[in-house]
């Protein structure tokens, strides 16, 4: 049936229901759940990188005081992974990175567990290592996974081999012909980015128990269903034997989009018969962080005399670390981030995931996009410099508009980026610029564009109507701080049922109660879970109107849900309360509840044959951003101050504009952190050198700037009420915009992120070596597996 719900009734600045407990310290996060009856566990980790394991002996540890159980490789026989099952839970015959788990020990106290960990014997023999992607790709490089062929892979025929864990590629049009044109200018750029560490304030961990023959894992995750699947898989038990529940999550940003140490806690719970808490220390969390990956990018474009892009080719090397993990999936994104935004007459891109003997990388807010937008936008500015065109004019000329094909041949709907650029100019007009605040320092301004895809995908929701007129929303979505399940989805449910969102009770994620959900991340929750909840609302609404129709002697089609009542259309105040209808239904038909489901509409289609090795070929729900920054660079110290930051963001419809702005503010500061503050470095053993807050520098309050925000509404969206995901994409151009603005301020060729003060000073002093990626062939076809 046609719902005819006015989406404007969903729009409000609803406050957060979880805020009161969070500001009074009452919220119980996973890390707060280890009482005196709970065993405390630690992971024993490899002290060095690439090595062959000769012997692991836990017998002395097992005899230590207070030790109740030890989980080892024998307890986790199966490999796991994303796309390719290449990762053991615990080290077996070889160690591939420093910090790799050897075993886990549960004891009465943390001190006892640590003492036992210290006496685990690990005898190894050093092996040759690949610490960089250049080393891993060199001819004759030692293989991290000599048995790669034997690994289970979710799709057949994908290009992979040697130290290349996965390769995605896209080819559209005749790129060679474009570059051969006599009239084009060819612009070539090389870029490199380091890793970014999430530093959620709550580290990864889990509290597990074994009850009635099933595992119960309480964890700080974005993906309860993935944790359920991976925990079961590695132990070799049926997934139905694992229950995952999720309390409020103390920050995630993509880090908690994978199962990590949850299965270890589950194994220990079964072995000890006790509840076990296993939480990473800050040092472990930092040194085994599934970071935003470091990447090397080569990109070349053929530009026509009119300033159009006749051809573009690129190679992106993504460092997976020792195991494929999320990078395998994310290799697909290159076509939609580096390949996005601009109209390309022809294009080819290779996106390769490379194994190295370093800690595995993972997902981080705007995965892959945050650095590909940096590469794309710096390349765009290098093009403008070469052909002598104004960067704004070039962008306005070339950004995708209605009916244009994307990199994979998908036809874009709506003219969005162009008008957003106009809105940015208008916003700048309104706010004014801050050049005067630069003083003696070097001033730079840059405007960049970015494109992201909302990972729509399967979600399900159930709604129960309660006799008091409240409703209970049951989902596996998680509150990670973004507000999507404490503000966005309840607002959608409330608007659909004509009640106030405060009447929507949100059940915490529980895989025993809620149906499958792909997870909270990728900007998908309000869209996918909102759509599933909307479908559930339709079911309960039909039931409500059915009963109300009997009660009010009015056909259902003439009834509307409004202000907590079932009213006769066009007669406000008529009809009866929703409570009355629910009570009546309980007597006549039984309590009202309903479920709904959603998955990607699959309406977006790529051009056949364009893409290979992709998890999806077309973007289901593209979102766009325009960012602009003004910076002042101190030429004496290389320090960058962000004077102003402006955002025009395609939000579809902002149903909670205040919350949307809060997400954008937070994401932009994280993006600025990526651009100029946050550096992860890899040491001589392949390990992450930073150990915590002392050595990893995130933005402080003094580094923040108030972001001027213009919400661009009305772009096409398959999301409920026209919504789009907003929190993911908002970080995407932080690095890009910092880089372009600093390049403009200093007049230097910025090729790398992060641009910490020493890096910028090295650039301005001319002592930073030029990057030219000798490990990437200038003949594109050499950069793909055949």
Partner 1 sequence: MMTWGTARKSGISPLTSPETVDEALELLAGGGPDTRAIAGATWIMRGPTRGEPVPARLVALNRIAELRGVEIGALSGRIGAMESHDRIARALPEAADLRALAVAAGASANPGIRRLATLGGNLCAVGFVAADLIPALMCLDARVEVATPEGRRNIDMTEFMAMRRAAGPFLVVAVRFGRSGFRTAHARTPARDYPVSIASLSMATDAEGRIADLRLAVGAVEADAKRWAGFEDRARGQAPDPAGMAALATEFSADFTPVSALDAPGWYRLQVLPVLVRRAFEQIRREG
Partner 2 sequence: MAVEFTLNGEWRDFAGDPRTPLLDVLRDGCRMTGTKSVCRAGFCGACTVMVGGEPVPSCQRPIGMLEGAEIVTIEGIAPPEELNPVQRAFLEHDVVQCGMCFPGMVITLTDFLRRNAAPTRSGIKEALSGNMCRCTGYERIIDAVMSIRETETPAAEAVSR
Which residues are near partner 2 by CB under 8 A?
13, 15-16, 18-29, 31-32, 34-36, 198-202, 248-253, 282, 480-483, 658-659, 662-663, 665-670, 692-694, 698-702, 704-707
C-alpha to C-alpha distance for 197 and 140, rounded to whole angstroms: 31
C-alpha to C-alpha distance for 401 and 390, rounded to whole angstroms: 20
3-class secondary structure for 220-241? CCCCHHHHHHHHHHHHCCCHHH
Element (H, E) at 505: strand 504-507
What does DSSP assign to residue 624?
A: E
CB 14 within 8 A of CB 493: no
For the bound state, the minimum distance from the C-beta of residue 253 to ligand FES, rounded and expressed in Å, comes to 10
For the bound state, the minimum distance from the C-beta of residue 642 to partner 2, rounded and expressed in Å, comes to 11
Cα torsion angle, 504, 510, 514, 520, sign:
positive
User: Is residue 694 involved in binding partner 1 (CB under 8 A)?
Assistant: yes
Q: Choose the one of partner 2, ligand FES, partner 1, none that binds residue 705, judging by a C-beta under 5 to 8 angstroms depending on kind.
A: partner 2
Site for partner 1 in 485-544 (CB under 8 A): none
Q: Choose the one of partner 1, ligand FES, partner 2, none that binds residue 770, judging by a C-beta under 5 to 8 angstroms depending on kind.
A: none
In terms of CB distance, is 32 or 135 closer to partner 2?
32
User: Is residue 637 involved in binding partner 1 (CB under 8 A)?
Assistant: yes
Q: What is the bridge-based pairing of β-strands 276-279 and 442-453?
A: unpaired
Q: Which of 1, 25, 182, 201 binds ligand FES (CB under 6 A)?
A: 201
User: Is residue 641 involved in binding partner 1 (CB under 8 A)?
Assistant: no
Q: Which of 162, 458, 657, 692 binds partner 1 (CB under 8 A)?
A: 692
User: Is residue 38 involved in binding partner 1 (CB under 8 A)?
Assistant: no
In terms of CB distance, is 205 or 254 closer to partner 1?
205
Element (H, E) at 70: strand 67-71
Number of amino acids touching ligand FES (CB under 6 A): 3
Strand partners, 318: 295, 353
Q: Which stretch binds partner 1 (CB under 8 A): 142-150, 220-228, 309-317, 692-700?
A: 692-700
User: Is residue 282 involved in binding partner 1 (CB under 8 A)?
Assistant: yes
Q: Which of 205, 263, 324, 481 binds ligand FES (CB under 6 A)?
A: 481
Q: Give the distance, in angstroms, between the CA of residue 212 and the centroid of all CA atoms in the same chain.
A: 35
In terms of CB distance, is 105 or 660 closer to ligand FES?
660
For the bound state, the minimum distance from the C-beta of residue 405 to partner 1, rounded and expressed in Å, comes to 46
For the bound state, the minimum distance from the C-beta of residue 758 to partner 1, rounded and expressed in Å, comes to 4
Q: What is the bridge-based pairing of β-strands 442-453 and 622-633?
A: antiparallel
Q: Choose the one of ligand FES, partner 1, partner 2, none that binds residue 758, judging by a C-beta under 5 to 8 angstroms depending on kind.
A: partner 1
3-class secondary structure for 17-54? CCHHHHHHCCCCCHHHCCCCCCEEEEEEECCCCCEEEE
Q: Choose the one of partner 2, partner 1, ligand FES, none that binds residue 183, judging by a C-beta under 5 to 8 angstroms depending on kind.
A: none
Alpha carbon distances (Å) from 35 to 39, 243, 276: 9, 21, 10
User: Is residue 15 involved in binding ligand FES (CB under 6 A)?
Assistant: no
Query: Taking Cα atoms as reference points, which of 485, 561, 476 lies closest to residue 527?
Result: 485
State the DSSP string of 152-221: -BSSTT---BTTEEEEEEEEES-HHHHHH-TTPEEEEEEEEE--B----SS-SEEEEEEETTEEEEEE--
Total count of residues recorded for the chain: 786
User: Is residue 690 involved in binding partner 1 (CB under 8 A)?
Assistant: yes
Q: Choose the one of partner 1, ligand FES, partner 2, none that binds residue 643, judging by a C-beta under 5 to 8 angstroms depending on kind.
A: none
Q: Choose the one of partner 2, partner 1, ligand FES, none that binds residue 25, judging by a C-beta under 5 to 8 angstroms depending on kind.
A: partner 2
Q: Which stretch binds partner 1 (CB under 8 A): 12-20, 153-161, 195-203, 755-763?
A: 755-763
Coil, strand or helix at 246: coil
In terms of CB distance, is 59 or 695 closer to partner 1?
695
Q: Choose the one of partner 1, partner 2, ligand FES, none that binds residue 23, judging by a C-beta under 5 to 8 angstroms depending on kind.
A: partner 2
Q: Choose the one of ligand FES, partner 1, partner 2, none that binds residue 81, judging by a C-beta under 5 to 8 angstroms depending on kind.
A: none
In terms of CB distance, is 93 or 201 closer to ligand FES?
201
In terms of CB distance, is 406 or 483 closer to partner 2?
483
Burial environment of residue 662 by CB neighbours within 10 A (0 to 12, 13 to 18, 19 or more): middle
User: Is residue 622 involved in binding ligand FES (CB under 6 A)?
Assistant: no
Query: Taking Cα atoms as reference points, which of 250, 255, 256, 253 lies closest to residue 201?
Result: 250
Element (H, E) at 530: helix 530-552
In terms of CB distance, is 201 or 587 closer to ligand FES?
201
User: Is residue 702 involved in binding partner 1 (CB under 8 A)?
Assistant: yes
Q: Which stretch binds partner 1 (CB under 8 A): 321-329, 503-511, 584-592, 688-696?
A: 688-696
User: Is residue 681 involved in binding partner 1 (CB under 8 A)?
Assistant: yes
Q: What is the bridge-based pairing of β-strands 309-321 and 347-355?
A: parallel
In terms of CB distance, is 164 or 688 closer to partner 1?
688
In terms of CB distance, is 240 or 681 closer to partner 1?
681
In terms of CB distance, is 684 or 701 closer to ligand FES?
701
In terms of CB distance, is 429 or 694 closer to ligand FES?
694
In terms of CB distance, is 195 or 565 closer to partner 1?
195
In terms of CB distance, is 193 or 531 closer to partner 1?
193
Backbone angles phi, psi at 196, to 5 degrees: -125, 135
User: Is residue 550 involved in binding partner 1 (CB under 8 A)?
Assistant: no
Burial environment of residue 258 by CB neighbours within 10 A (0 to 12, 13 to 18, 19 or more): buried
User: Is residue 182 involved in binding ligand FES (CB under 6 A)?
Assistant: no
User: Is residue 639 involved in binding partner 1 (CB under 8 A)?
Assistant: yes
User: Is residue 251 involved in binding ligand FES (CB under 6 A)?
Assistant: yes
CB 342 within 8 A of CB 361: no
C-alpha to C-alpha distance for 481 and 249, rounded to whole angstroms: 7
Q: Choose the one of ligand FES, partner 2, partner 1, none that binds residue 707, judging by a C-beta under 5 to 8 angstroms depending on kind.
A: partner 2
For the bound state, the minimum distance from the C-beta of residue 747 to partner 1, rounded and expressed in Å, comes to 19
User: Is residue 705 involved in binding partner 1 (CB under 8 A)?
Assistant: no
User: Is residue 685 involved in binding partner 1 (CB under 8 A)?
Assistant: no
C-alpha to C-alpha distance for 659 and 482, rounded to whole angstroms: 8
C-alpha to C-alpha distance for 651 and 624, rounded to whole angstroms: 8
For the bound state, the minimum distance from the C-beta of residue 282 to ligand FES, rounded and expressed in Å, comes to 8
Number of amino acids touching partner 1 (CB under 8 A): 23
Q: What is the bridge-based pairing of β-strands 295-303 and 309-321?
A: antiparallel
In terms of CB distance, is 201 or 388 closer to ligand FES?
201
Q: Choose the one of partner 2, partner 1, ligand FES, none that binds residue 460, judging by a C-beta under 5 to 8 angstroms depending on kind.
A: none
3-class secondary structure for 407-473? CCCCECCCCCHHHHHHHHHHHHHHHCCCHHHHCCCEEEEEEEEEEEECCCCCEEEEEEECCCCCEEE
For the bound state, the minimum distance from the C-beta of residue 407 to partner 2, rounded and expressed in Å, comes to 32
The first and second tokens of residue 580, run together, are 């009355």
| Longest Cα separation, the chain | 83
Q: Give the distance, in angstroms, between the CA of residue 162 and the centroid of all CA atoms in the same chain.
A: 28
Residues contributing to the site for partner 1 (CB under 8 A): 109, 111, 282-283, 636-639, 679, 681, 689-692, 694-695, 697, 700, 702, 757-758, 761, 765
Residues lying near ligand FES in the complex (CB under 6 A):
201, 251, 481
């Amino acid at each position: 049936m046609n719902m005819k719900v006015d989406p404007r009734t969903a729009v409000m600045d609803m406050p957060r229901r979880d805020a009161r407990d969070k500001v009074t310290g009452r919220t119980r996060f996973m890390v707060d759940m280890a009482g005196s009856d709970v065993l405390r566990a630690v992971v024993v980790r490899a002290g060095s990188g690439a090595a062959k394991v000769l012997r692991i002996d836990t017998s002395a540890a097992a005899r230590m005081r207070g030790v109740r159980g030890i989980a080892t490789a024998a307890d986790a026989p199966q490999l796991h992974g994303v796309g390719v099952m290449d990762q053991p839970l615990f080290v077996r015959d070889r160690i591939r990175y420093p910090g790799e788990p050897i075993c886990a020990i549960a004891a009465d106290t943390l001190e006892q567990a640590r003492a036992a960990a210290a006496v685990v014997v690990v005898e190894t023999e050093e092996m040759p290592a690949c610490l960089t992607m250049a080393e891993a790709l060199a001819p004759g490089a030692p293989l991290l996974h000599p048995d790669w062929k034997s690994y289970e892979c979710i799709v057949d025929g994908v290009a992979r081999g040697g130290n290349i864990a996965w390769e995605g590629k896209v080819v559209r049009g005749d790129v060679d012909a474009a570059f051969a044109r006599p009239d084009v200018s060819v612009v070539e750029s090389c870029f490199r980015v380091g890793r970014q560490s999430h530093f959620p304030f709550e580290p990864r961990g889990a509290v597990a128990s074994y009850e009635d023959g099933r595992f119960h894992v309480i964890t700080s995750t974005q993906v309860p269903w993935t944790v359920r699947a991976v925990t079961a898989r590695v132990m070799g038990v049926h997934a139905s034997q694992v229950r995952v529940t999720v309390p409020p999550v103390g920050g995630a940003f993509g880090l908690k989009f994978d199962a990590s140490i949850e299965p270890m806690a589950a194994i220990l719970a079964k072995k000890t018969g006790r509840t076990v808490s296993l939480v990473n220390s800050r040092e472990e969390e930092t040194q085994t962080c599934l970071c935003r990956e470091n990447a090397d990018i080569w990109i070349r474009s053929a530009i026509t005399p009119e300033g159009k892009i006749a051809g573009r080719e690129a190679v992106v090397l993504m460092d997976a670390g020792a195991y494929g993990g999320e990078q395998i999936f994310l290799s697909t994104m290159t076509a939609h981030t580096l390949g996005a935004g601009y109209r390309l007459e022809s294009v080819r891109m290779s996106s390769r995931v490379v194994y190295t003997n370093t800690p595995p990388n993972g997902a981080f807010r705007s995965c892959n996009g945050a650095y590909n937008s940096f590469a794309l936008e710096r390349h765009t500015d290098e093009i403008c410099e070469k052909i002598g065109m104004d960067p704004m004019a070039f962008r306005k000329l070339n950004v995708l508009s209605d009916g244009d094909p994307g990199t994979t041949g998908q036809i874009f709907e709506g003219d969005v980026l162009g008008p957003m650029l106009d809105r940015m100019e208008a916003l700048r007009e309104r706010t004014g610029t801050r050049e005067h605040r630069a003083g003696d320092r070097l001033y730079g301004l840059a405007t960049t564009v970015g494109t992201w895809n909302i990972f729509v995908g399967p979600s399900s929701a159930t709604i129960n109507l309660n006799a008091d007129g409240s409703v209970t929303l049951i989902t596996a979505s998680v509150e990670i701080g973004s507000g999507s399940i404490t503000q966005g989805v309840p607002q959608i449910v409330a608007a659909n049922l004509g009640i106030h969102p405060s009447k929507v009770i949100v059940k915490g994620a529980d895989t025993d109660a809620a149906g499958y959900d792909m997870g909270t991340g990728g900007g998908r929750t309000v869209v996918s879970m909102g759509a599933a909840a909307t479908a559930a609302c339709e079911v309960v609404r039909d039931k409500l109107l059915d009963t109300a129709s009997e009660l009010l002697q009015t056909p259902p089609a003439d009834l509307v849900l409004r202000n907590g009542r079932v009213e006769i259309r066009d007669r406000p105040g008529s009809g009866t309360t929703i409570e009355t209808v629910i009570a009546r239904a309980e007597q006549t038909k039984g309590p009202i509840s309903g479920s709904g489901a959603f998955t990607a509409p699959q309406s977006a289609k790529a051009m056949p044959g364009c893409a290979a090795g992709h998890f999806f070929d077309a973007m289901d729900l593209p979102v766009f951003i325009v960012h602009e920054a003004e910076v002042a660079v101190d030429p004496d110290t290389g320090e960058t101050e962000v004077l102003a930051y402006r955002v025009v963001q395609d939000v579809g419809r902002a149903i909670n504009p205040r919350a949307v702005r809060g997400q954008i503010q937070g994401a932009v500061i994280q993006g600025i952190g990526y651009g100029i503050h946050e550096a992860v470095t890899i040491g001589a053993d392949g390990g992450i050198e930073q150990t915590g807050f002392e050595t990893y520098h995130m933005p402080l309050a003094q580094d923040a700037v108030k972001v001027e925000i213009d919400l661009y509404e009305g772009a096409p969206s398959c999301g409920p009420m026209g919504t789009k995901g907003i929190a993911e994409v908002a970080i995407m151009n932080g690095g890009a915009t910092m880089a372009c603005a600093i390049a403009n301020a200093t007049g230097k060729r910025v090729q790398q992120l992060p641009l910490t003060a020493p890096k910028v000073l090295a650039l301005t002093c001319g002592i930073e070596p030029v990057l030219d990626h000798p490990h990437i062939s200038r003949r594109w076809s050499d950069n793909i597996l055949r």
